[in-house]
Chain A
């Protein structure tokens, strides 16, 4: 298995531009998570999906952020318009349902490093 695949690995954009980050989870995994990592705030859960349905988006910072999962093999995280404070590494992770329930083991992608100028 190729693991969780994220693209792009690096993105540099200017303030106000739209940014789309992409994720392909591991086949057969029914959970997908988007995390953001910064020096100041560490790892923050933005949103997660179960069977393509958003379950908890309470971590999405504001309306500029949106995430979709149109099918089991693809998800996007969009920022529109982008701001310098959005600069971070964005990780996608996927997992099977945990055993016991709630004890999911996440497999992370390599991350997308976003720089907003």
Chain B
């Protein structure tokens, strides 16, 4: 069975600082990996995804993530945090044959301070 683990339910960074949100996955077959963001009182929206090919994936709002098979990780980064980045971030995994069934992590709430 596939699963994702997000380390740290809350992360706080200063505006302008590096954002690093951690995600590790467990899958017996090559995974498809996603990061979604949820702003207060809204649904989730896609930040970026990895399926095949280049392991460094760029998404919206300056975020990127790198698929590292040897570490079974897909950490999300942004070089410089902005106040508008404050939200909850979810890592998710699926793989071919799951008929599109996404499994989400428990989420990491990002706080950005002045």
Q: Which residues of A contact B (CB under 8 A)?
A: 4, 31, 33, 42-43, 45, 48, 50, 55-56, 91, 93, 95, 97-98, 100-111
Q: Which residues of B contact A (CB under 8 A)?
A: 32, 34, 36, 41-46, 49, 51-52, 90, 94-107
Report B-chain residues with C-beta under 8 Å of the C-beta of A111: 41-43
* B96: contacting residue among A93, A100, A106, A109, CB under 8 A: A100
Interface of B is mostly: loop
Q: Are A56 and B101 in contact (CB under 8 A)?
A: yes
Cα(A104)–Cα(B100), bound, Å: 6
Report B-chain residues with C-beta under 8 Å of the C-beta of A110: 41-43
Q: Are A42 and B107 in contact (CB under 8 A)?
A: yes
Report B-chain residues with C-beta under 8 Å of the C-beta of A55: 99
6 A–B pairs (Cβ distance < 8 Å), ordered by A: A43-B104, A45-B102, A48-B101, A93-B44, A100-B96, A102-B97
Given A105-B46, A111-B43, verify A95-B100 contact (CB < 8 Å).
yes
Report A-chain residues with C-beta under 8 Å of the C-beta of B42: 110-111
Known A42-B105, A98-B32, A103-B32; 8 more pairs at CB < 8 Å: A45-B101, A56-B101, A95-B100, A100-B32, A100-B52, A100-B96, A102-B97, A102-B100
A-B pairs, top 6 by smallest CB distance, nearest first, are A108-B43, A104-B100, A102-B96, A43-B104, A103-B32, A42-B106
